Structure 1
Amino acid sequence: MTGSERAQRERAGRTVCVLDELPRPGPDPLRAGTVPRDGVQTVIFTSGTTGAPKPVELTYANHTASALAAAWNVGLDPDDRWLSALPLFHVGGLAIILRAGIYGTTAVIHEQFDPDRVVQALEREAITLCSLVPTMLRRLRDAGLNSAPDLRACLLGGAPVPVDLLDWARAGSLPIVPTYGMTETASQVATLSPAEALAGIRGARPLNGVEFDSSPSGELLVRGPMVAAGELSDDGWLRTGDLGRIDDAGLLQIEGRVKDLIVTGGENVGPAEVEQALLSHPAVSDAAVLGVPDPEWGEAIVALVILRDAVEDVELLDHCRERISSYKIPKRIERVQELPRNAAGKLLRAELQIPDR
């Protein structure tokens, strides 16, 4: 992990043990029967995208339920090779190793995300499954990925998935499967099947054993055997902090983070929708949206963009206007050189800043 991420965990108020080298292998306590299935297997920190990371205790039973639900959705083959370029101290990367151990299959671990190396692995190294975040997939597209002959499914989560990426993947018959999950749920709890993804279906289907509901305010609630017991409210539900619902087709639709909502002119705007509109423009390589105090609007929507080609503000605004409601159009567009992201590629909204003029 990075030095700043290590420091965040040390400040979280709990004793932390950081191993710079892995211990030598020994007897598996679970197989030996010395550890109960409800015993804590992992203490892993949330990604800290909207605030300070917090420790979450996940049990052997949580990880096993997650692995079985994943196999139920994407299938299982003894020759599977699951590629991960995700950090192993985030739940998405750790889950791949644990699944491989539970399934008896192969995990292919890259020390860090290198687009050219991942493209080579997908095209030439018999990778059947992989896990990515949207910024990684966009970089793979830019690096020339156009085929993955052995790939059965690529789980794509950690952030809203831009529609243009899904359309590109579908056009190339790449089985990019949107997924939803979090540290508190030991990874995914809703994922499309590969067939649904290739058919152009949008959303994510609840995995086996998972239940969803919504609070009166629209916050998404979840429960199931992979959800950390210590994170449940008194009513038995995990409050996800996300706005979401199950639609008429039984698919999960995520509408943004509760804390991220921008209230502008009395209307609620989720930044992810505006970001996706911007990212669908070919000149935009990355984007983030935030609200800033404004005497007229309450909050004004400001977009931070990284450009791959020169483009005028008016063109970007017209592009957004064709895709989202008028009250969601940014009032300002600021060009930046980089956006704060963690090692897994997730946007760190708490660190977004408008550049000085």
Structure 2
Amino acid sequence: MSDLPTPKFLDERVAHWAATKPDEEAITYLSRTWTWAQWYDRIRRAAGALSARGIKRGDVVAFLDKNHPACAEVTLAAASLGAATAIINFRLAADEMDYVLNDSGAKVLFVGAELKPGVEAIRDKLPGVGEIIEVKPEGDDEYEAMLAAATPHDRAADVQSDDVCIIMYSSGTTGRPKGVALTQANVIAHTINAFDSWVAEPDDKNLVAMPLFHVGGTSYMQYGLHNGIPSYMTRDVDGVALAGGILAGANRTFLVPAVLAKVLDTGPEAVQLFGGLKTYAYGASPMPLPLLRQALQAWPETEFIQVYGLTEVCGVVTRLMPEDHRSGDEERMVSAGKLIPQAEVRVVDPDTLEDVPAGSQGELWFRTPQLMKGYHNKPDATAEAITADGWFRTGDIGRIDSQGYVFVEDRLKDMIISGGENIYSIEVERVLAEHPAVTEVAVFGVPDEKWGEAVKAVVAVEGEASEADLIAWARERLAAYKCPKTVDFMEALPRNPTGKIMKKDLRKPHWEGHDRATV
């Protein structure tokens, strides 16, 4: 990490690199490369364009596209005005899209050309969006025209470090997404703490491939910006794009385990190419132990780092470092590692709210300067998640061993993690329950060798409805990754004496012989 003073604002380090090494590479994307001076000028012009459109402190703009440097430019530009950028998941269905755009309160929407038709289809449902600006992968678009016409604008005088700069929508336990509001101070603290002990070397190049709507994409990109390391951004997370980045010199990256599995299945040439990575950080879902063993053998020189965290803490709160991966201690290898700097943890009985005895299971609570300001427009949900003295209740069940290693072993919140994406079963249940034939429904995760977990539904119906019918119904109303892969039918779902569906009993047969931490 850089030994420069800790920045107060998100754009400070980019300004520093633009001043101290203006002609060196900052960002490469597809066929375009920008130096630090060029990229900082684009940020200042974006700030000028937003200011000219009336964007000021406390406002929100939105960005909807696959990975594109314009997302980072807009985020830093808006932050310099005290405004936030809602980075929207491009996989959302129309019903989800209009909800999050309206909930965010975005006044300006930047949208990718291939996604614009979907936005136009719901345009009449977005009264608060005053302007839509099209972005294309190769440029020559409305966004570039906006920058060219803009007058550069410096950081506004009223901006504060605790201003919200990013809003990321995470599926909610109420069946609707919640906007996680992260401040400039949160993001900077995460960059310093999560990447503590990473030593930036002269030949480093950051491979930014995770979707920017995911905290693993946006927060990871900050590593390069903070340290003055060039970043190679891919538009998609696929083998060709990743290979292109590595061939261009990228040697540090963060990806989900499912991507690693694909590489190993592709063949010896792909395995050899990925051996050029110095660091392979992974997270967002557990790494199956057999896959981890295979990866460690395939890439003996690569440093593996597992991270555990949540969007609400900007991403990372614990890390399993390279030496732990190579220790031969498989018990340790399935842990989530140890706390990063400035983070505290408690293991709490969720019923009594008292700390459990050392080594016992309980709900994991964290306190850290990375903790979100709250859920956007949801004070009740914020108060439920964050205690009066600043502890975040994760909803994850875990324990801490005598050496301080954190083990995440189950979930209080009924969440499925498939391929690194968080899916709340209640959101899927809400959609399936609307099918006219469905009378009862339960949704949960089952083991999947490729994705860690797959979405499964169990339903009771009256009338005609096949598995294909219900999956198609869900696909019309939800992002594809949230939809059930399989559907089982029962005459009636099991319930306890109070009438609650016994989802644990439905789930149990699928998990027999599996450890949820290592599947």
TM-score with structure 2 setting the length: 0.50
Counterpart AA for 1:183: T
Shift of 1:206: 1.1
Shift of 1:91: 1.2
| CA-atom RMSD in angstroms | 3.5
| 2:192 is the counterpart of 1:101 | no
Q: 2:166 aligned to 19, 34, 42, which one? A: 42
Aligned twin of 2:283 = 157
Shift of 1:150: 4.2
| 2:99 is the counterpart of 1:11 | yes
Q: 1:138 aligned to 230, 241, 261, which one? A: 261
Shift of 1:115: 1.5
Deviations 1:31-53 (A, max 9, x none): x7652211212122225699432
Shift of 1:255: 0.9
Deviations 1:66-86 (A, max 9, x none): 111133143323542111221
| 2:398 is the counterpart of 1:244 | yes
Deviations 1:14-38 (A, max 9, x none): 4134312356384552xx7652211
Q: 1:285 to 1:184 in 2, by over 3 A?
A: closer
Q: Which runs of 5+ in 1 are unaligned?
A: 263-270, 295-335
Q: Is the 1:74–1:193 contact (alpha carbons within 8 Å) kept by the matching residues of 2?
A: no
Counterpart AA for 2:260: L
- Identify the structure with the greater helix proportion: 2
Counterpart AA for 1:36: Q
Distance in 2, matches of 1:79 and 1:6, equals 43
Counterpart AA for 1:181: G
Q: 1:90 to 1:135 in 2, by over 3 A?
A: same
Q: Which runs of 5+ in 2 are unaligned?
A: 1-64, 66-89, 112-134, 136-142, 351-361, 375-381, 417-443, 461-470, 490-519
Secondary structure of the residue that 1:74 maps to in structure 2? coil
TM-score with structure 1 setting the length: 0.70
Counterpart AA for 1:256: D
Secondary structure of the residue that 2:185 maps to in structure 1? helix
Secondary structure of the residue that 1:222 maps to in structure 2? strand
Secondary structure of the residue that 1:75 maps to in structure 2? coil
Counterpart AA for 2:105: T
Shift of 1:290: 5.0
Higher alpha-carbon deviation: 70-79 or 99-108 = 70-79
Distance in 2, matches of 1:285 and 1:93, equals 18
Distance in 1, matches of 2:275 and 2:157, equals 41
Distance in 1, matches of 2:339 and 2:452, equals 29
Deviations 1:201-239 (A, max 9, x none): 412221111111122032211111111132533231111
Counterpart AA for 1:80: D
Counterpart AA for 1:11: Y
How does 1:1-357 map onto structure 2 within 5 Å?
A: 1=65, 2=90, 4=92, 7-12=95-100, 13-16=103-106, 17-20=108-111, 21=135, 24=147, 26-27=152-153, 29=155, 34-46=158-170, 51-122=175-246, 124-144=247-267, 145-147=270-272, 148-172=274-298, 173=300, 174-200=302-328, 201-202=332-333, 203=335, 204-217=337-350, 218-230=362-374, 231=382, 232-260=386-414, 275=447, 279=449, 288=454, 292=458, 348=482, 351-352=483-484, 354-355=486-487
Shift of 1:356: 6.4
Query: Percent same amino acid at aligned positions?
Result: 29
Deviations 1:267-320 (A, max 9, x none): xxxx87x62xx62xxxx78752658589xxxxxxxxxxxxxxxxxxxxxxxxxx
Q: 1:19 to 1:356 in 2, by over 3 A?
A: same
Distance in 2, matches of 1:256 and 1:158, equals 14
Counterpart AA for 1:257: R
Distance in 1, matches of 2:173 and 2:296, equals 29
Shift of 1:7: 4.5
Q: Is the 1:38–1:60 contact (alpha carbons within 8 Å) kept by the matching residues of 2?
A: yes
Q: 1:6 to 1:75 in 2, by over 3 A?
A: farther
Counterpart AA for 1:288: A
